[in-house]
A and B are shown apart, each in its own frame.
Chain A
């Protein structure tokens, strides 16, 4: 095995130009893929924090007596996906409205009667904050005899969920396309190396070298290229990440969201993918190249 590693390293040094091109190609692809991953991880965090803010307001019918409130609250609390239920009396609602409209208090000053209904503010579990689930829950609440109307900002939520799904789908598609492109580029580069050594391989076969003996150094080369390409790509991403966080430090440290780098698990996954790409590129080239003509 040591012999194979020595041969692989020697081959890389002998074909420096082609190998450097392969490593750069892998690095750039890993940089793009990992940058996309970084974007989606952080976008997901932001979306999750927004989802935490999603709530349903259930307006009560005017004739509901105060003694019935605990039972209604209990029923809503028992529904799947509900995190918390808060009662907001019409007086409390008016107080909040006045606070929100401080600059325009004259608009509310002339009201003889409080037109706002009593309501429950229903906070949802993050896992239940998808557009369909919220819609179902709102319908369930609205179907209760004591509830006049359940409101949750349907349009906003639908748009938000669609945009998020579109982002996610685009991300998967781009990662997939990059993966395939890199495999073919690596395969072609390794094919060039193999062609440049066609005579050598032919001589090795004539002296009785097995395919394993010929292929193994190429596979090791592919793994080394994949590993080096992965390390360079991720290191470049880290440098870019540091530069970005230094420049947008104020925003990232705010309460709205916190930009974070990829987790060790994701980094390991990307490294393994990179190594796999190197190996797969080799496998495709060698499979096509090393065939005996059988009678």
Chain B
């Protein structure tokens, strides 16, 4: 069901299905995400939270239904447009997905290099974002030498450095202690406060208990009303 809210939507999902062979991972998902919304998606393991996020950035193709991202139809997207769709997002993963052979600085700079920004601007922006997440001192370090919390802060820096419209965070606090988790949540709140849209897939009960933002529940691939 589509919300009749008059706030403008940045993401719209219409009767979305996702199937892997005979297994149905998502069934008839209808969802609007509004600009500058902070949305949680929760549910038990295997409920389809990660799959739903993957469909948004075309990590997986949709089996059936329509998805509109900031005016872009994901179902009909051509391969050459996928990178441009992904630039609308900053993506954070539970396992950080940092490149082990690159320094903290280079991991974050990669986003701006990929979109063809000039070197001087890259240096300025990356340093600024690393300062924001408290990792400026470790800019020359490599991911293996960082703690889990530090690696996730670098991942947040990488997600926000390109100034995306939406941040997708898949279990961003799942591997972290509570102190590191709080830092990450605060960074996401900061991005939201600056006008960004945030979607967090989590089953962190503490995080959900303390929020007054909208929460979408999934169970066995279906949206629970």
Contacts and interface: CB of A to CB of B under 8 A. Distances in A.
Contacts, number: 59
Interface in A166-207: 199-200, 202-207
Given A207-B162, A295-B61, A200 B86 contact: no
Nearest to B75: A295
A156 interface: no
B82 interface: yes
A209 B101 contact: no
A199 B61 CA distance: 20
Contact of A208 (B60, B61, B114, B119): B114
Contacts of B115: 208
B99 A199 contact: yes
B110 A204 contact: yes
A121 to B, nearest CB: 73
Interface string B34-60: 000000000000000000000001111
Interface residues of A, number: 19
Contact of B87 (A3, A208, A292, A295): A208
Contacts of A3: 113, 119
A294 interface: yes
Nearest to B88: A208
B114 A209 contact: yes
Report whether over half of chain B's contact residues are helix, strand or loop; otherwise say mixed.
loop
Interface string A279-295: 00000000000001111
A80 interface: no
B114 A203 contact: no
Interface of A: 3, 14, 199-200, 202-211, 213, 292-295
Interface of B: 57-63, 75, 79-80, 82-84, 86-87, 91, 97-99, 101-102, 110-111, 113-115, 119, 158, 162
26 contacts: A14-B101, A199-B99, A200-B101, A200-B102, A203-B98, A203-B110, A204-B110, A205-B83, A206-B57, A206-B91, A206-B97, A207-B110, A207-B111, A207-B162, A208-B84, A208-B87, A208-B111, A208-B115, A209-B110, A210-B83, A213-B113, A213-B114, A292-B58, A295-B61, A295-B62, A295-B75
